[in-house]
Amino acid sequence: MGDAIDRRDLLQVAMHEIGHALGLDYDFSRFKTQLPGTTGPLRGTPPRAFAGIDIFVSQGPHISENALMVPSAKPGERRLISGIDALLMGQFDLFNRPDLSEQSVEENGHDQGIPTVTVASSPTCSGNVPATNTGPW
């Protein structure tokens, strides 16, 4: 709003760059093994949803879909993570069931969605929960 109208959205840019840090990067080892060239279709594999789908990766690397990880942000627009972004990152990181649901947003009155956050009111893990900083990870 105000002076930010028609400018690039900082939240979108930050989330986009985090997407690169999470694996959409030429130097990431799983990127190199799953997409040996620098561009081309990345085929989704089972057990992930939409196994067999091709997601075209190019330009830096980015995806050419209507998603967060496109080559450049449009002024005056806010894009949040989409199902295709989650599917791509799930493929690189070998997550079996990435969350492909649309991000819940509230409108701020300036046609910009603000992500809503759900906070657990009690622990969501049960059973033998490992202590912090221990275990095979």
Q: What is the pLDDT of residues 32-87, one digit of tens each?
A: 888 888 888 989 999 888 899 999 998 889 997 678 999 988 888 888 888 889 88
**Structural domain includes residue 31:** yes
118, part of any domain: no
Q: Determine, yes or no, domain membership for 85.
A: yes
- For residue 28, tell me if it sits in a domain: yes
Q: Is the dihedral of CA 104, 107, 112, 117 positive or negative?
A: negative
Evaluate if pTM is beyond 0.85: no
Residue 20 belongs to domain spanning: 2-96
Q: Is residue 131 part of a domain?
A: no
Domain count, the chain: 1
125 compared with 5, residue with greater pLDDT: 5
Query: In this model, does residue 134 exceed pLDDT 80?
Result: no
